[in-house]
């Protein structure tokens, strides 16, 4: 049955440096409670919001990346509701229906379908730049907690609210869209997508013949796909039974893997919107725009296309692009080597795999060896000094555990006398030799394996071992 999905994605500009309207840190995690605060983000009376340049530039860059209509002036509005962790009891946002001018109206987000390797696009209705509230903690259960603990460290963190049109065709596409979006925001230096709680998604989903259902509180891309699949299935079943899907709001219970109706019916709230008189419209001038364009130079798409154009398979190219430290290494090393495919494979498959195997944080720049080292390894293979398999099997594991090590000490000793090894094996493996001579070609592979094994960890080129074996075997054959 056909489904239609729309998303409302809230993502913190965690890497903006400052909060939206003050100089406190945009990355509030790890501070003791209420220590990343100032009069402005505490909403103390008389303290005034002043838009931070970086959050505005990052929001504009995001809007530009989605080909949005960007207004000449951004206008912030106040949205009022009483909540303990909202210090002013209003949130500064950009509601366009009350005189606000959001950073984007009408745009289009392109994302990569990593199943078919095709680019798809979904309409964007708007993007708001707004402030995050603080957080309320409870001792265990909200109903049983004696106190509500309010922490304002998060209060005022810049938040983008990105709203798509309801035209995403499947839960999986929804997930890929959000994954691409987060990667894009990571590339422009706006977001660290791996921070806990850095984004949350509200989704609306409908099946043919049913009303739209909102699903709130989705905190990961995996959960997004799960929640939407669950809903699609639930709604389809209702329609197939001849029932009606009512318009409602549901809550995603991640632990139990199901959506549940919200017990409380949401009131028709009146938010008393009006333009914030403390914030004159922000002129979107040439300097702001050119700064935003500047940080948009590298997008996952442009990178992916560039890497693919070097003859690298989509899977590998994407593997590199989806890990920014890897793509950084690739772009640097690419200028130093001629075999780009080999480089792609080393970075995107084997080195990445090895780092993962060793439990390193792939997204931490310091987990990766410098590009020159990687290029050095590729060049060793290009010059035929070592085989790719030797590098992969004997060098990459060591480099992964000690990324700053120079290459030379990591290289295995080479077997200097292949002939001697071959002689030794031929002497020892008389049965296999007989087999081979009597026409069982497979025995050769066995013998090659034995020669490599006899190298006892020293580097040996299996092709050379095979060549040498064949020479000797031919001699033996001739002798009869």
Partner 1 sequence: MMRQPTVHELLEAFRHGDTDPVENAHRVIENIARREGKINAYISLEDFDSVLEKAEDSRRRWMRGAARKLEGIIIGVKDNISTSFLPTTAGSRILDGYVPPFDATVVERLQKEGAIIIGKTNLDEFAMGSTGEFSAFGPTRNPWDEERVPGGSSSGSGACLAYGGCNAALGSDTGGSVRLPAAYTATVGLKPTYGLVSRYGLIPYGNSLEQISPMGLSSLDVALILQVMSGYDPLDATSLNVNPDVVPEGPADPESIRLCIPGSLVGMSDEPVKKSFYSLIDRLTGEGASVDTVEIEGVEKALPTYYTIAVAEAASNLARFEGTLYPSRGDYSGDYWRFISKSRGEGFGIEVKRRILMGVYVLSEGYRDEYYLAATKVRRIVRDELARITKKCFIATPASPVLPPKLGEALGDPLKLYAMDAYTVLANLSGLPALVVPSGFSSNLPTGVQFIGGKLTERSLLSLGMLVEELTGIRGAYAGG
Contacts to partner 1 by CB under 8 A: 39, 42-51, 78, 80, 82, 84, 87-90, 98, 148, 150, 270, 272-274, 277-280
Nearer to partner 1, 23 or 167 (CB): 23
Q: Is residue 284 within 8 Å of 73, Cβ to Cβ? A: yes
Q: If you search the block for the tokens 């799960």, which residue do you land on?
A: 226
Nearer to partner 1, 279 or 396 (CB): 279
User: Which of Zn ion, partner 1, none does 344 bind, CB closer than 5 to 8 A by kind?
Assistant: none
Size, binding site for Zn ion by CB under 5 A: 5
Token output for 125: 């209705």
State the minimum distance, in angstroms, from the CB of residue 91 to partner 1: 11
What separation in angstroms does the CA of 3 have from each of 28, 170, 207, 257? 38, 6, 4, 20
Q: If you search the block for the tokens 């005189």, which residue do you land on?
A: 99
Distance of CA 219 to the CA centre of its chain: 14
Give dist(CA 14, CA 184) in Å, integer.
14
State the minimum distance, in angstroms, from the CB of residue 217 to Zn ion: 27
Token output for 135: 């957080």
State the minimum distance, in angstroms, from the CB of residue 132 to partner 1: 17
Give dist(CA 69, CA 105) in Å, integer.
5
Token output for 257: 């893997």
CB-count burial class (<10 Å; 0-12, 13-18, 19+) for 472: middle
State the minimum distance, in angstroms, from the CB of residue 350 to Zn ion: 46
For residue 56, which of 374, 372, 285, 326 has the smallest C-alpha distance? 285
User: Which of partner 1, Zn ion, none does 47 bind, CB closer than 5 to 8 A by kind?
Assistant: partner 1
Q: Is residue 345 within 8 Å of 387, Cβ to Cβ? A: no
**Judging by DSSP bridges, how do beta strands 158-164 and 118-131 pair with one another?**
antiparallel
Nearer to partner 1, 23 or 315 (CB): 23
User: Which of partner 1, Zn ion, none does 84 bind, CB closer than 5 to 8 A by kind?
Assistant: partner 1
User: Which of partner 1, Zn ion, none does 24 bind, CB closer than 5 to 8 A by kind?
Assistant: Zn ion
Tell me the Ramachandran region of residue 353: left when phi exceeds 0, alpha when psi lies from -120 to 50, beta otherwise. alpha
State the minimum distance, in angstroms, from the CB of residue 140 to partner 1: 18
State the minimum distance, in angstroms, from the CB of residue 142 to partner 1: 11
Nearer to partner 1, 143 or 478 (CB): 143
User: Which of partner 1, Zn ion, none does 50 bind, CB closer than 5 to 8 A by kind?
Assistant: partner 1
User: Which of partner 1, Zn ion, none does 78 bind, CB closer than 5 to 8 A by kind?
Assistant: partner 1
Nearer to partner 1, 22 or 312 (CB): 22
| Binding residues among 18-37 for Zn ion as defined by CB under 5 A | 22, 24
User: Which of partner 1, Zn ion, none does 41 bind, CB closer than 5 to 8 A by kind?
Assistant: Zn ion
User: Which of partner 1, Zn ion, none does 270 bind, CB closer than 5 to 8 A by kind?
Assistant: partner 1
Q: Does 38 bind Zn ion (CB under 5 A)?
A: yes
**Judging by DSSP bridges, how do beta strands 90-93 and 73-74 pair with one another?**
unpaired
Selected range binding Zn ion among 40-48, 174-182, 273-281, 435-443, rule: CB under 5 A: 40-48
State the minimum distance, in angstroms, from the CB of residue 107 to partner 1: 27
Selected range binding Zn ion among 41-49, 120-128, 140-148, 309-317, rule: CB under 5 A: 41-49
String marking each residue 50-89 x if it binds Zn ion according to CB under 5 A? ----------------------------------------
Work out which of 3, 11, 16, 41 binds Zn ion, going by CB under 5 A. 41
Distance of CA 150 to the CA centre of its chain: 31
DSSP code, position 395: I
Residue 222: in which H helix or E strand, if any? helix 221-240
For residue 89, which of 98, 99, 97, 79 has the smallest C-alpha distance? 79
State the minimum distance, in angstroms, from the CB of residue 260 to Zn ion: 36
Q: Is residue 134 within 8 Å of 87, Cβ to Cβ? A: yes
**SS3 category, 117:** coil
Residues of this chain that bind Zn ion (CB under 5 A): 22, 24, 38, 40-41
């Amino acid at each position: 049955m056909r489904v239609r999905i729309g998303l409302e994605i809230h993502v913190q500009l965690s890497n903006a440096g400052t909060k939206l309207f003050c100089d406190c840190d945009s990355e509030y995690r790890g501070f003791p409670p209420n220590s990343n605060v100032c009069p402005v983000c505490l909403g103390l009376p008389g303290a005034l919001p002043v838009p931070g340049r970086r959050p505005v530039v990052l929001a504009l860059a995001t809007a530009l990346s989605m080909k949005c209509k960007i207004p000449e002036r951004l206008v912030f509005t106040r949205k009022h509701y009483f909540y303990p962790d909202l210090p002013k009891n209003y949130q500064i946002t950009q509601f366009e229906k009350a005189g606000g001018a959001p950073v984007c109206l009408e745009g289009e987000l392109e994302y990569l379908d990593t199943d078919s390797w095709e680019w798809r696009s979904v309409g964007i209705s708007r993007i708001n730049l707004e402030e995050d509230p603080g957080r309320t903690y409870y001792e265990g259960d909200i109903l049983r907690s004696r106190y509500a603990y309010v922490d304002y460290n998060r209060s005022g963190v810049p938040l983008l609210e990105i709203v798509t049109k309801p035209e995403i065709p499947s839960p999986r596409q929804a997930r890929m869209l959000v994954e691409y979006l987060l990667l894009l925001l990571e590339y422009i230096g706006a977001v660290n997508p791996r921070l806990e709680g850095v984004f949350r998604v509200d989704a609306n989903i409908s099946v043919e013949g049913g009303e739209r259902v909102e699903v709130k509180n989705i905190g990961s891309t995996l959960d997004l796909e799960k929640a939407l699949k669950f809903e699609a299935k639930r709604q389809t079943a209702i329609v197939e039974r001849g029932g009606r899907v009512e318009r409602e709001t549901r809550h995603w219970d991640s632990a139990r893997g199901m959506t549940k109706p919200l017990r409380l019916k949401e009131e028709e709230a009146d938010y008393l919107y009006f333009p914030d008189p403390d914030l004159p419209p922000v002129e979107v001038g040439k300097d702001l725009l050119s700064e935003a364009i500047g940080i948009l130079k590298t997008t996952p798409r442009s990178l992916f296309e560039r890497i693919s154009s070097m003859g690298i398979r989509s899977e590998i190219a994407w593997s590199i692009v989806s890990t920014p430290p890897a793509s950084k290494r690739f772009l640097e090393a690419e200028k130093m080597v001629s075999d780009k495919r080999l480089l792609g494979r080393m970075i995107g498959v084997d080195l990445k795999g090895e780092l993962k195997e060793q439990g390193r944080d792939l997204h931490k720049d310091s987990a990766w060896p410098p590009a020159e080292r990687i290029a050095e390894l590729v060049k060793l293979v290009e010059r035929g000094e070592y085989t790719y398999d030797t590098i992969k099997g004997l060098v990459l594991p060591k480099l992964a555990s000690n990324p700053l090590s120079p290459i030379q000490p990591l290289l295995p000793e080479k077997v200097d006398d292949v002939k001697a090894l071959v002689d030794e094996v031929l002497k020892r493996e008389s049965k296999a030799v007989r087999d081979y001579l009597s026409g069982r070609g497979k025995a050769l592979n066995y013998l090659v394996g034995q020669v490599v094994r006899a190298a006892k960890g020293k580097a040996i080129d299996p092709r050379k071992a095979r060549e040498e074996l064949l020479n000797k075997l031919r001699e033996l054959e001739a002798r009869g």
